[in-house]
Chains A and B, each alone.
Chain A
Amino acid sequence: DAGVTQSPTHLIKTRGQHVTLRCSPISGHKSVSWYQQVLGQGPQFIFQYYEKEERGRGNFPDRFSARQFPNYSSELNVNALLLGDSALYLCASSQGPRGTNEKLFFGSGTQLSVL
């Protein structure tokens, strides 16, 4: 079975631009979460979506938005890019919204560089 797939793997943008990152969860998983990982730090929670509804939002500005599609894939959008948005963006999938044994499976991430 395929794991969590993310595209693109690398992306270079300039300040002020917009970016869309994509994620396909593991087959059968209905929940997708997005995390931002700045170099040398641990991942920070951005969003969780389950059954196309937002179930959680981290402490990120409104420039960050996301959505989930009927096939459970997801997009993360970032508007008006800042230099500080440069990071590894990780997508994680899990089976449900709050299972007692909820285990997150992470993709390899999209490395975003903002110049």
Chain B
Amino acid sequence: EDQVTQSPEALRLQEGESSSLNCSYTVSGLRGLFWYRQDPGKGPEFLFTLYSAGEEKEKERLKATLTKKESFLHITAPKPEDSATYLCAVQAWETSGSRLTFGEGTQLTVNP
């Protein structure tokens, strides 16, 4: 059974204070690892897909990296508008294309 564990559950940062969120996973055969952002009362918003160990992707203040066992979402010099819940999900090769297994998320709060 595919499993995703995210840590920490909650993270509070000061504006400009860089940090990283962790996503550990076990999957029978990794097709893709996804990062989403979710604001309160909204659906998840796609951020990144990573496919193989060593891959990195960047978008503004966010950078996602992938190893064979975990992924990190690095947040550089965060701003209050980065406050949200960040969800990690994996997709296995043998499952349907839309079947993602999500972690419970990390709730990030960035104080001004």
Contact = CB atoms under 8 A, between A and B. Distances in A.
Interface of A: 4, 31, 33, 40-45, 48, 55-56, 58, 90, 92, 94, 96-99, 101-109
A85 B95 CA distance: 25
B58 to A, nearest CB: 17
A103 B99 CA distance: 11
B105 interface: yes
Interface of A is mostly: loop
B104 interface: yes
Contacts, number: 70
Contacts of B41: 108
Nearest to B32: A102
Given A4-B43, A105-B46, A56 B105 contact: no
A34 B43 CA distance: 12
A30 to B, nearest CB: 11
28 contacts: A4-B43, A33-B99, A40-B104, A41-B104, A42-B104, A43-B87, A43-B102, A44-B102, A45-B98, A45-B99, A48-B99, A55-B96, A56-B98, A56-B99, A58-B99, A90-B43, A90-B44, A96-B97, A97-B96, A98-B96, A101-B49, A103-B46, A104-B34, A104-B98, A105-B46, A108-B41, A109-B42, A109-B43
